[in-house]
Amino acid sequence: MYNARVSLFNAIYNQEVSKRQSGADDDMVMDEAKARYARRAGHEFKLFHWWEAVRHQPKWSVKHGGGPNIDVSKRSRLGASGEYSSGSRETDEEVNGPPGRDRSKAAARKGKGKVGSSSYTSTDSAEMGEKLEDLCKITHEYAQAKLWKQWNILSSRSTDGMTDAQKKVHDRALKRLQQQLHLNDDDE
């Protein structure tokens, strides 16, 4: 679910970057990408934290060397000592990332060292989707833990020294947290 939305926004953003007009800054490109996504998907894109987390990964960069994440300058720094190479030769592994587990095993069975394919397999895509789902679960659990912590603090706080307005705000905050934690549900 999230993977498809992030993929769509990433594709739209990469298109906007590739057709950037003279004088357009990064904010203008981002605004146009947001607008195109909203027109196409019917709602605005809100998963920027996920997109930012994965956008520099090889799978999400523009294919075949024209992406914003790949240095294609004629002189690229090789090491910390400052030596330069002439030209911008990049291996398939640098541009597309390392081969997936299944492709590596298949290549080993065939007796080949490296796989020269420049595209990812569906297994790689599935692994990325699983990683994104795991990240979503972890983030949700973290958010729930923070909500529980906040609820424990508010519910144990004494309201004896509070004014009526402060008590009202305190009660509203407690009710909101109870709703978010589903403490009012009859199922539990």
- Cβ atoms of residues 63 and 118 within 8 Å: yes
- Cβ atoms within 10 Å of 122's Cβ, excluding its own: 9
Q: Give the model's pLDDT for residue 34.
A: 92
Cα 160 from Cα 27, distance rounded (Å): 50
pLDDT in tens, 36-82: 999 998 988 888 888 888 888 877 776 533 444 434 344 444 445 55
- More confident site: 83 or 154: 154
Cα 170 from Cα 165, distance rounded (Å): 9
Identity of the amino acid at 163: T
Whether residue 164 has pLDDT greater than 90: yes
Range in 35-39, 119-123, 178-182 with the lowest mean pLDDT: 119-123
Structure pTM? 0.35
Helix residue ranges, H only, 42-163: 48-54, 92-96, 101-110, 122-156
Instruction: Kindly report the backbone phi and psi dihedral angles of residue 138, in degrees, each rounded to the nearest multiple of 5, phi listed first.
Output: -65, -45
